[in-house]
Structure 1
Amino acid sequence: MGIALFTLGGTISMAGAARLDGAALTAAVPGLETLDEPLDIQDLEPVGSGSLTFAQVLAVAESASAAVRAGAPGVVITQGTDTLEETAYLLDLVWAQDAPLVLTGAMRNPTLAGPDGPANLLAAARVAAAAPARGLGALVVFNDEIHAARWVRKTHSTSTATFVSPDTGPLGHVIEGRVRVLTAPVRCAPLPPPTAGARVALYTVTLDDDPDTLTALAAGQDAVVLAGFGVGHVPAVLVPALAELAARMPVVLTSRTGAGSVLRSTYRSPGSETELLSHGLIDGGLLHPYKARVLLRLLLGSGADRDAVAAAFAERG
């Protein structure tokens, strides 16, 4: 069995009004025939990445695991880029195989000059077949760079260099067809797939914010991820509402900046990280808000209580 290629749609497969299936997608990639491992194409129902659900992503994870158990040395998933940083992280959290699980896509569709999809797909296939990529979990391969799902972010709406890892840089590169892994991330044990749903709101703090807006958003939710200013600050007027929420549900403190960690005890003014954590908010560490929501929803869907959530963020945040 060759490398399993699962196609989910996205810009990489957009050809005007039509969508390219896996056969047409791979036919447009010069160099695939030089791979030591062929591609075993499995076309999935095309879904715009903005419409993907947890259930659909977890179903792909199970299909990918089944392919590895059947002998595939690695897996490539093509999808849209809008939510790729989130789907990659969700897959990474549950991926229990040593075989590489590689996500890629495109920023320019095949009808445009210089589409990047073929090069990205070729690089992703090379990484999926590479021994140095084993044991690294889910990876995102774009622009000949190899990124850990845990750290990668989409940082530009149109650039082909949109995927970067601000806190770490890429794990490696594909150079003249050779996969060079320069550093390996610390891997945590995989989490079980959820057995129930969970409603997790994401609230981004803004200038002159209103506690009533926060309270209304949190109504009916099981938890909240808070994207605070800078190192984890909020307007002082929000603190009573956040303290009340943290008394009845997990509230995870993250930074809206997209890079760097929230702090724990550097600032002590009203609305500071020290005050918020003293009221029971959970330290999100280096996890940015979108990925914190993925982790929190997965934990709650598996029955984790507040203490288990806090422990998980202490390990993974």
Structure 2
Amino acid sequence: MEARHLRYALALAEHGHFGRAAHALGIAQPPLSKQIADLEREMGARLFDRTRQGVFPTAAGQAFLARARRALEEMTAATVDAGRAARGETGRLRLGFIASALLDPLPNVLSRFGRARPDVRLELHEMASSRSAATLISGELDVAVTLGPPRGSGAEHLVSVPVGHDHLIAVVSSTHPYAGQASVSVDQVRRQPLIVAAGEDEPAVTAGLRTLLGDDAVDGASVARDVHTIIGLAACGVGVGLGPSRMLSAPRPGTRFCEVTPRAALPELILSFNGQDRSPVLGAFLDTVCRSCPDVGAALDRRSGHSWGSGSVPSAAH
């Protein structure tokens, strides 16, 4: 039994006449009569009564037609669903990210992707860079946003591109002596109680701070989980918060930001994914990233050998 047999039987039931049904189907009447007869032999039951008044479903025919109608509807839905999945309009995306990526660029990327792909299930996991890199390598994530490129066994199979550049800035309460200054020197910062991100979560940042400020300043600092906590503790007057310049996009009443001189670059914000992943959902997400972050598309082209912005799936890493 084929789908056309179901369509033929439904058309015959609708029109009640072999000639009219054949015309509606765009076929000749004899082939239609033969197909219905073949179907009845396969079913082992007469599905239609042929009378001078027309053709009418039998009891067996009515039972068959009810199922046939649902079967065709399911086949149509299956075709639609398959097409949507192939275009990355359904499915899931597992994203690991550090908290500061929620300042930039993730808000624009996620809102844009959500509007374009409302039926894709986003599974979002905030985690430290080292953990998200390991989870991506193990295949438990589809994409990771980390400080610095992922490292460790298996990282060579990842495609990694920068999605954000940062330098160190300070945040203080509006009553702090530095609050009226546009910038503070490293020596000024070193003499203050400090607030920094957890060292074990972002070792590259901590290592840079130790080089810049010295071990004593960093070892005596208050430790915050993320940039939002750094800003919050600074607002409480605990000390001088140190974090990435993307903190400027999250001003909080009662705080002031200061540049730190000389300017100290921080590890780049890196987006990574498995270069062998052919998922259409991943391809759609990366296209959204490229549209939201203009410089990323060219970097992905160079790194993956694929032209982004067309909604197609990623090619293998080089």
Q: TM-score, normalised by structure 2?
A: 0.21
Structure with bigger helix share is 2
TM-score, normalised with respect to structure 1: 0.21
Bigger-Rg structure (1/2):
2
